[in-house]
Amino acid sequence: MNNGLAVRQEQRQVRASDGLLGWVPAIAIGYATILTPLLVFRTTPAVEDPAIAAAASGSNLLNQVFWLFLLVSTAFAFRHRLSRFEEALKQPVVVLVGLYMLLAFSSIVWSPAPSIAFRRSTLQFIVIATVVLPAFLVDDPRAQIDRVMAVFFVTIAINLVAVLLLPAGRLGHQGIYTHKNELGLVVAYGFVFCLYGVWRLSGLGRLIALALAAAALLELVVSKSKTSLGLALLIPLIALAVVAVSRFLRINALYPLFFGLLTCLFVGLFVANLVDFSFADFSVLLFDDTTFTGRTIIWDFLGDVISRRPILGQGYGSFWDIGLGSIVLTEAPGFVATLLQGHNGYVDVTVELGLAGLALLLFFLACVLLSVGRAPNDGRTGMAEAWLFMSVVIVTLCHNMLESSWFRGYSVVWMLFLLVGAWAQAGRRKARGNRAVRHRN
């Protein structure tokens, strides 16, 4: 009993010593999931009108103030941990995102909208710095995970109130957001964190997490976001199977993950060939049309744009939503001219920064996957964290097949992927340090 009390007191002291650094990830996620939709009541502007499109490319003062303040506060908070800061800069995740941002800033030189490219590159640099670095600078990364979990608890509770009190939109309920798919995506992640809470917490905390998980499912159903509902139900089960197999066989979780994916791919191709099931049939099964709700039209257009500058692309943030004279407004067919993204994160990266940017992205994804695959999964909490990390990674990889979030503003999808990569790498570093201490003793 006394030992348990001493451990809890030590944990509280460690969390207190982290101060603001322990809260920065939760603040960033809370800004995207709660504060922005509650404070900025505006819909996405329609870009059929070139004048409106030009205005849409303008900056947002609230975003600038918030992220600059968070960056300055973070820098002030780690002023006494400069040795850890230097070590953090050497971590593979940090190095790779740093190289990507170096390419992004360099692309200002060939960007058709250099001022927009500079502003968006700067925002992305600030988002990455404030989200990633605190994970390596704190003594207790697990406290950061718990606080992000608490943010999703609040997010689900607020949206439950909105669902109960506000009327639904024509396509489905959007909660406190501007579109049903945004509600569906945020709540899908929230559902995963609720399941993590059921696993991680005990007593009243577990009951709250369970109740909010049920609320999240209700919100997913009323949002009519079928993709998000499917991800929320399917991905956690896949992640659990992957982590359980890796723990049982004591191997990197990537091995069962890739084995499962390859097995599904080959079986799917075999069955499709056997019953003459085409790509178009698959699209009809999922979206009731043969073009993945118009995405194949978008990708054909983007393929032509990529072929013009295949190596370095159009420039970071210099293709979608840059105003008058852009390729999108002057050449895109039909509805594509009204879009703000290419509905595929990998394609959008290639459009903006070419094959060079895509290569850096793939190296970065491989680094995160390796770190998550090697995440310690000993004990109940370790198993829960490994499952959470794997769930977030799989959801994000799948999401970017049909939407865009890689290196894109302060998207919740993107920030969570950054956090998971940093937490997994920081956890492995801390585990190695603990083993070294035990070995010396």
Sequence-separated (6 or more) residues with CB below 8 Å from residue 429? 91, 136
With 0.85 as the threshold, say if the pTM is over it: yes
Mean pLDDT of successive 10-residue stretches along the chain, which has 441 residues? 49 59 94 88 41 42 88 88 86 94 96 94 94 91 94 96 88 88 93 94 94 95 88 92 87 80 70 59 55 79 94 94 88 88 94 96 93 81 90 93 91 95 82 50 50
Q: Please, how many CA atoms are within 13 Å of residue 316, restricted to the half-sphere of its CB?
A: 27
Q: What whole-number distance in Å separates Cα of residue 47 and Cα of residue 56?
A: 8
**pLDDT value at position 407?**
94
Structure tokens at 181: 């798919």
**pLDDT value at position 44?**
44
Task: Find out whether 260 and 242 touch, Cβ atoms under 8 Å.
Answer: yes
Task: Find out whether 252 and 386 touch, Cβ atoms under 8 Å.
Answer: no
Q: What whole-number distance in Å separates Cα of residue 409 and Cα of residue 63?
A: 10
Q: What whole-number distance in Å separates Cα of residue 208 and Cα of residue 215?
A: 10
**pLDDT value at position 288?**
60
- Residue-wise over 43-56: b if at least 16 C-beta within 10 A, else e? eeeebeeeeebbeb
Ordered alpha helix ranges (H), 78-140: 82-88, 92-106, 114-137
Task: Find out whether 22 and 15 touch, Cβ atoms under 8 Å.
Answer: yes
